[in-house]
């Protein structure tokens, strides 16, 4: 059946033997190549207003050519189609440049690469196929036979493209809807992200069910696929499936959600994404992103700072020399810590005499901070303030002291 597709392409190639078609194709190709050469020569960056302005040149050139050829009584549909597609490209580029002003450029570029470019490519192909052959006609061409069922070009294209675009295109509307729901229902960031993710999975699921329905998958085929998956799950993709289910469970349970702060390998990390297979954690100490399989959180003990609330009780240890009065030292420590802007007033900080160490007395001050990920920097600020306070009050931070005894030989 695949030969049907080759036969179709052969027919399209045969159209190039017509002078009017060849003329249009060559003119469009020449104009686009000239435009491309100009871009390479000018070395303009991809997202650039000058680049957009330059796009007017091929559009105008093609339009003029279409007028001339049309006056000669020859068809110009291909040139007009190319002009229309270029206009759409120009509009998309303008939108991209505008969005870069108001949204983080990296996000805009990411969406551009993942969604807009593939969509535009599909649009170009669909427009060409529809004009040359008719979309219905081409999509009805039988291509494959599986599970006793015939798959046409249209259904196979749907099978390949729809899952991709479901995953990619569901991102933006879900984020917008999540934002609106978050404002209306007063959701926290974590809840909102969980809601968005669940909504996205639901959209993808509904889309895939629709696709199965469109393809006309019969129950026998579905049973065969399910049987194959069962074996696959038992051997090869057990871990993948386990991670996927774990991720869904974590979302429903709400124990690990995007935005949460967890301790992973001794470091506090923020959950950036909860994916199908793994969670992406961000470690601020070295700006690293860790991909942790969802199953890990499902089977191992997880320490979180953002379960019930996001407050973290932090501590700083400091030593003072033995000859200083401990009560005065504790008082000074508390007064110093309370003055720190990022240390919460409530719950109140407290300090205790922790240990009689070798070189001095160890004190520990406990205080609360609003965001767990700020612990390292706030602790630094607290230590610095304590050093200054100790110095002002003449309190010595002792160096380690060792008594070395040496016996002289008799």
Among 48, 80, 149, 242, binds another protein (CB under 8 A): 80
Q: Mark residues 146-185: x for contact with another protein by CB under 8 A, - for none.
A: ----------------------------------------
Shortest spacing between CB 296 and another protein, in angstroms: 30
Name which of 117 and 206 has its Cβ closer to another protein.
Answer: 117
Q: Can residue 36 be called a binding residue for another protein (CB under 8 A)?
A: yes
Residue 161 CB partners (closer than 8 Å, separation 6+): 122
Q: Can residue 8 be called a binding residue for another protein (CB under 8 A)?
A: yes
Q: Can residue 71 be called a binding residue for another protein (CB under 8 A)?
A: no
Q: Can residue 307 be called a binding residue for another protein (CB under 8 A)?
A: no
Based on DSSP, count helices (H) and strands (E) in the chain, helices before strands.
16, 10
Q: Specify the stretch interacting with another protein by CB under 8 A; choose among 19-27, 268-276, 298-306, 319-327.
A: 19-27
Shortest spacing between CB 12 and another protein, in angstroms: 8
Q: Write out the two tokens for 64.
A: 């003029």
Shortest spacing between CB 105 and another protein, in angstroms: 20
Which phi and psi (to 5°) does residue 298 adopt?
A: -80, -30
Among 92, 119, 132, 158, binds another protein (CB under 8 A): 132
The candidate with the shortest Cα–Cα distance to 212, out of 158, 257, 269, is 158
Contact 116, 96 (CB under 8 A): yes
Rg (CA), the chain: 33
CB burial of 162-196 (b: ≥16 within 10 Å; e: otherwise) equals beeebbbbbbeebeeebeebbeeeebeebbbbbbb
Q: ∠ at Cα 182 (108, 278), nearest 5°?
A: 60
Name which of 15 and 122 has its Cβ closer to another protein.
Answer: 15
Shortest spacing between CB 138 and another protein, in angstroms: 9
Parallel, antiparallel, or unpaired: how do β-strands 142-146 and 149-152 relate? antiparallel
Q: Specify the stretch interacting with another protein by CB under 8 A; choose among 29-37, 47-55, 386-394, 401-409.
A: 29-37
Binding site for another protein (CB under 8 A): 7-8, 10-11, 13-22, 24-26, 29, 33, 36, 40, 74-78, 80-81, 130-134, 136-137
């Amino acid at each position: 059946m695949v030969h049907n597709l080759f036969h179709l392409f052969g027919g399209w190639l045969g159209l190039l033997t017509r002078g009017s078609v060849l003329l249009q194709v060559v003119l469009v190709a020449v104009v686009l190549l000239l435009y491309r050469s100009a871009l390479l020569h000018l070395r303009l960056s991809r997202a650039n207003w000058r680049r957009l302005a330059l796009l007017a040149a091929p559009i105008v050139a093609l339009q003029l050519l279409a007028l001339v050829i049309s006056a000669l009584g020859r068809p110009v549909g291909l040139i007009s189609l190319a002009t229309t597609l270029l206009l759409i490209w120009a509009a998309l580029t303008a939108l991209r440049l505008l969005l870069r002003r108001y949204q983080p450029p990296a996000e805009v570029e990411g969406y551009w690469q993942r969604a807009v470019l593939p969509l535009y490519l599909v649009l170009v192909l669909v427009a060409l196929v529809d004009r040359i052959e008719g979309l219905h006609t081409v999509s009805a061409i039988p291509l494959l036979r599986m599970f006793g069922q015939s798959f046409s070009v249209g259904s196979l294209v749907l099978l390949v493209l729809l899952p991709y675009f479901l995953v990619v295109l569901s991102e933006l509307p879900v984020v917008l809807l999540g934002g609106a729901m978050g404002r209306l229902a007063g959701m926290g960031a974590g809840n909102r992200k969980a809601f968005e993710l669940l909504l996205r999975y639901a959209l993808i699921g509904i889309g895939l069910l629709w696709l199965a329905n469109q393809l006309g998958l019969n129950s026998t085929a579905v049973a065969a696929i399910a049987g194959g998956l069962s074996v696959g799950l038992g051997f090869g993709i057990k871990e993948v499936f386990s991670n996927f289910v774990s991720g869904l469970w974590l979302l429903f349970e709400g124990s690990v959600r995007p935005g949460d702060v967890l301790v992973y390998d001794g470091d506090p990390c923020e959950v950036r994404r909860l994916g199908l297979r793994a969670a992406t954690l961000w470690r601020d100490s070295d700006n690293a992103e860790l991909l942790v399989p969802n199953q890990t959180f499902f089977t191992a003990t997880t320490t979180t700072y953002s379960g019930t609330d996001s407050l973290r009780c932090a501590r700083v240890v400091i030593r003072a020399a033995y000859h200083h009065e401990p009560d005065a030292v504790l008082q000074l420590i508390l007064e110093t810590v309370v003055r720190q802007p990022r240390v919460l007033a409530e719950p109140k900080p407290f300090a205790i005499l922790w240990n009689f160490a070798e070189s001095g007395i160890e004190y520990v001050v406990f205080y609360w901070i609003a965001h767990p990920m700020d612990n390292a920097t706030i602790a630094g600020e607290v230590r610095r303030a304590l050093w200054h306070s100790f110095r002002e009050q003449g309190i010595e931070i002792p160096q380690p002291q060792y008594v070395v005894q040496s016996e002289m030989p008799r």
